Structure 1
């Protein structure tokens, strides 16, 4: 999964994005009721160099302005928030009333497994946003969207660690959902085996269940939108199909799209369909 991400650049160039920044906007709605767009890059939320996020606050925001948190992929061991800039630009264009947090997190290595480290980083960011709600002029209602490993983390935090029920929706693009899936445990594919190994030496079923969104979903899980590729070499088709069935059995509002001919990412018509579906889902469950 290392170094693999969705290839979106060509399509996004066609949209002709523009960006603006005004770091001098007053954060107080009482002093400035027509708040300007504000962009702040590399906000630190910890002592590690990877513990930073980019913050994009829309103009005319209020304490009802919802926040989308973006989490990059990279097999839990690589990647950067810059990988999600394509989605940030799309959201600023088509969903301009939502605040955006595009976060980095500490990357796993031989001495630092991804869980709980990366879940703790997400919790720290969420807590910081809540503490600064009045300063940023945002709601404490949040959504998540992640790609690949970032999608796994988005689902896992939303299902198992949202103690204050802040998450109003979560989006997963090619995210692993069930690490106890025989498609992983019985596979001889070195890429799939690496996915299990990165979680450390404890591969007992109890541990793998604790880090699998499939096993952590409940009837109170937030609305969820899932996208998977039928020819994905890293995330078996069963990951999306089984998650879809599990959410249906729990009565969780959700959407699942499987692109039979696509792999671990896609472009063209499938990509456009993904954005249209995700945008509509976000408008319904987070923006409104």
Structure 2
């Protein structure tokens, strides 16, 4: 592994729930003619998939791709209210370096606020992105086989969309790094933490169990769920330990292929050797299942 890849890993999981800023830009490479003997790599930035300024994605297309080239979709965190696709830049570099045959789609989505719930708005945005990728798959020269990698709130969205919104079974695998899984967890509903309560309040004024279950991966997962890989920290101030362990247990009971890694001393993000361990396991899982 090259030195800069290790450097990227070491900083990969720090402050997953905070946003970074980035400047908009247009296409900087034009895809080659698919009839040519060599299909060149292409990067298209801020591709619009809706009318809102947040409804854009970046797509990184590898050299010599075909209509069988698989796609990794990256979803940033930020408590459903903040964050940006720029937060996932290190993952883009790692995938390009170590999984070079995959196309990468790094997305933004509309952000929630005091008057706008994240659900189902942000899940609808992911559906719009999938529909856009399918419409353009011959233009991009990619397949309709997708994998998801999300962090924090983006991991929640990745899991939930893969479990409940993938009506055509196009998702081959999904990865959650410190993602919420069960909004009905007593650790959330009876919490005494103002930060956690702020996220719960964000979901709306009339919270009832059916609503919370509807938007919880734990409650929506079925035996048809795609292979799932989970990473959680035992000292996470935002994600109770039960969020990872309960979903892992449910996947086991349902017979869903999955892996679960728990780092007892880590929080809501980590660096160092555990970050390297996370990437090593994640890369192997992607290679096997996607």
User: Does the pair score TM above 0.5?
Assistant: yes
- Partner secondary structure for residue 120 of structure 2: helix
| Structure 1 pair 257–51 and aligned structure 2 pair: CA distance change class (3 A) | same
CA contact (8 A) 2:9 2:279 kept: no
CA contact (8 A) 1:64 1:138 kept: yes
- Partner secondary structure for residue 114 of structure 1: coil
* Residue in structure 2 matched with residue 84 of structure 1 by the alignment: 88
* Residue in structure 1 matched with residue 29 of structure 2 by the alignment: 23
| Structure 1 pair 268–14 and aligned structure 2 pair: CA distance change class (3 A) | closer
* Residue in structure 2 matched with residue 18 of structure 1 by the alignment: none
* Residue in structure 1 matched with residue 16 of structure 2 by the alignment: none
For this pair of structures, how many residues does the alignment match? Answer: 272
Q: What is the CA–CA distance in structure 2 between the aligned matches of 1:10 and 1:281, rounded to whole Å? A: 19
Shift of 1:203: 1.5
Q: 2:50 aligns with which of 29, 35, 46?
A: 46
Q: What is the CA–CA distance in structure 1 between the aligned matches of 2:168 and 2:151, rounded to whole Å? A: 24
Q: Alpha-carbon deviations, 1:94-120, whole Å to 9, x = none? A: 000000000000000122100011001
Shift of 1:193: 1.0
Q: What is the CA–CA distance in structure 2 between the aligned matches of 1:100 and 1:247, rounded to whole Å? A: 27
Q: Alpha-carbon deviations, 1:143-169, whole Å to 9, x = none? A: 000000000000000000001100000
Q: What is the CA–CA distance in structure 1 between the aligned matches of 2:40 and 2:9, rounded to whole Å? A: 26
Shift of 1:24: 3.0
Runs of 4+ residues over 4 Å off in structure 1: none
* Residue in structure 1 matched with residue 21 of structure 2 by the alignment: none
CA contact (8 A) 1:223 1:254 kept: yes
| Structure 1 pair 22–50 and aligned structure 2 pair: CA distance change class (3 A) | closer
* Residue in structure 1 matched with residue 263 of structure 2 by the alignment: 259
1:65 aligned onto 2:69 = yes
- Partner secondary structure for residue 114 of structure 2: coil
Shift of 1:194: 1.4
Shift of 1:221: 0.2
Shift of 1:10: 8.2
Q: 2:7 aligns with which of 7, 11, 30?
A: 11
Q: What is the CA–CA distance in structure 2 between the aligned matches of 1:155 and 1:84, rounded to whole Å? A: 17
Q: What is the CA–CA distance in structure 1 between the aligned matches of 2:230 and 2:108, rounded to whole Å? A: 22
Q: What is the CA–CA distance in structure 1 between the aligned matches of 2:92 and 2:247, rounded to whole Å? A: 26
Q: What is the CA–CA distance in structure 1 between the aligned matches of 2:184 and 2:172, rounded to whole Å? A: 27
Q: What is the CA–CA distance in structure 2 between the aligned matches of 1:171 and 1:262, rounded to whole Å? A: 18
More deviation, 108-117/271-280: 108-117
> Please, what is the CA RMSD of the aligned residues?
1.7
Shift of 1:33: 3.1
Shift of 1:12: 1.2
1:107 aligned onto 2:107 = no
TM-score (norm 1): 0.91
1:230 aligned onto 2:242 = no
* Residue in structure 1 matched with residue 222 of structure 2 by the alignment: 218
Q: Alpha-carbon deviations, 1:32-91, whole Å to 9, x = none? A: 131111001100111111000001000000000000110000000000000000111100
| Structure 1 pair 61–22 and aligned structure 2 pair: CA distance change class (3 A) | farther
TM-score (norm 2): 0.91
Q: What is the CA–CA distance in structure 2 between the aligned matches of 1:22 and 1:285, rounded to whole Å? A: 31
